[in-house]
Amino acid sequence: MARLRMTAARGIAAASVVLLVVGLGGYTVAAALAPVAAVEPQPQPLPAVSTPPATVDLPGYGAWAVAAADDRQIYAGRRLDEQLPMASIAKVVTALVVLEEHPIEGDNEGTAITLTAADSRLPARYAAINGTVAPAPAGLVVSQRAMIELMMVHSANNYAETLAVWAFGSEAAYLEAARAWLAEHGMPGATIADTTGFSPQNRASVRELVTLARLAAAHPVVAAASALPRVTVPGVGSYENRNAALGRAGVDGLKTGTLRVIGSNLLFSADLVVGDRTVPVVGAAVGAPDQESIADDLEQLLASLADDFRTLTIGEAGQVVATYVAPWGDTAALRVVDAVDDTVWGPVRTVALVDLPVVQPGIEPPRAPVLLVRYGDREVRLALEWEGTIEGPPLDWRLRHPLESAFSD
C-alpha cells in the first residue's frame, strides 16, 4: 500500500512537471505571438521664423502704389482706391487693346499702316490744345510697332488715335472694346473716354493702375517699347523717352502722363536687386508736381522697398520633426531632408503643419509625410525622411511584459 502511494505521488509529480512545461511552453508561444501596440509619435516643437515690419518711404503727395509684378501683393500705397485722371497712361490701354485685336508675333513689326489724309490732320488738332504730337504726312507707311513706340516713348496723341481707328474702324468702336477689356482684366472701375488720355474722364485708381502695369510689363511689345531711351521712325522723327525715372533704381518703363487738372502721373516697372536675385515690381504715381519729382521720389521709395526684402530659411537639413521610442528601446525619427530659402517682403511668421503617422513595430514604416510651412500668403512643402527603425520587441521583453503584448491595441 505504501509502495502504491509512493508510485502515485511520483506520477502526480511527473504529471505536474509535464503540465508546468506545457504551460510554460504555451505562455512562451502566446507571449511571442501576441500583438504589440503601435508606437506613437512624439512631436518636436519647430521654432517659428519671422521677419520684421516693413518701412517704405511713400511721398506725401498724390496717390501711389507699388506692388509685386508677378502676384497680387501691393507692398505700399496711399489713396489706393480713389478714381483719378490717368492722363496719357490711357495710351497703355490703347496699346494693349489694339494688340489683343491685332497681335505682333516675335520681333515682327506688325501690320504696315498707310497714313490717310485724316491722320495727317490730327497733329494740328492736338497741337491746338497743347497736346504732344509727331508728324504724320499722308501716304507715309508706319508699322504698327513703330506707332506703339511713338505712343509709349514720345506720347504722340495723334498716333494713339490713328492706331485705334485703324484697328477698330472708329474711335467709338475702340472705346466699346476698351471698356470690355478693362472689365475682363480686373479693372471694372476704370473709365476710358478717348484713345489718348487727353480727357480728364479717363480715370482709374492706383490699385487698378497696378493691374494695368502688370499687364503692360508682361507684354513683350509694350514693355520693350516703354524701355526705349529713344525712338526713331523714318519720315516721322527721333524722340527721347519722356520718362525721367527710366534707368534710375532699376526702372525700365512704363508710361508718363500729364494733365493740368491732376499734374504728373507715372505708370512704372522696375527690377530691384535684392541680394543675389532680381525682384520685379510695378506701380503708379498720380498727381505729382512734375516728372522730375516723381523720378527723385520713386528712386527713394524703391530703395526703401528693397531694404525690406528678407531671405527666409525654412527648416534645416536633419531637423527632427518627430521621434518614436518603443518601450523596449528601439527608436526612429522623422527628419527634414533639405531647407528651403525664399525671399519675402515685410513681416511674416511661419506656421508648420504635419500629419504624423504611428509606427507598427516590425513593419516597414509608412511613407514619410510632408511638412507644410505657411507664411504670409505662401506655403512650402518640406520633404521628410525616416531615420532608424522600430523592430518587434525581443522575446525576453515579451516574457517580462505579458500584458503589454497580450492586451495591446
Model confidence at 21, pLDDT cuts 50, 70, 90, reads very low
- The answer to whether the CB of 148 falls within 8 A of the CB of 93 is no
Q: What is the DSSP letter of 87?
A: G
Q: Residue 217: CB partners within 8 Å, gap ≥ 6?
A: 69, 223, 253, 254, 269, 280, 282
- The answer to whether the CB of 258 falls within 8 A of the CB of 197 is no
Return the higher-pLDDT residue of 5 and 125: 125
pLDDT exceeds cutoff 60 at 368: yes
- The answer to whether the CB of 252 falls within 8 A of the CB of 227 is yes
**What does the pLDDT average to over 36-64?**
91
- The answer to whether the CB of 156 falls within 8 A of the CB of 133 is yes
pLDDT in tens, 91-101: 999 999 999 99
Model confidence at 308, pLDDT cuts 50, 70, 90, reads very high
**What does the pLDDT average to over 51-66?**
93
Percent of the chain with pLDDT over 90: 79
pLDDT at site 15: 40
pLDDT in tens, 183-242: 999 999 999 999 999 999 999 999 999 999 999 999 999 999 999 999 999 999 999 999
Helix (H) or strand (E) holding 92: helix 90-101
pLDDT exceeds cutoff 60 at 404: no
Average pLDDT of the chain to the nearest whole number: 90
Sign of CA pseudo-dihedral 286, 171, 212, 114: negative
What are the two backbone dihedrals, phi and then psi, of residue 286, each rounded to the nearest 5 degrees? -130, 130
Amino acid at 348: V
pLDDT in tens, 251-298: 999 999 999 999 999 999 999 998 888 999 999 999 999 999 999 999
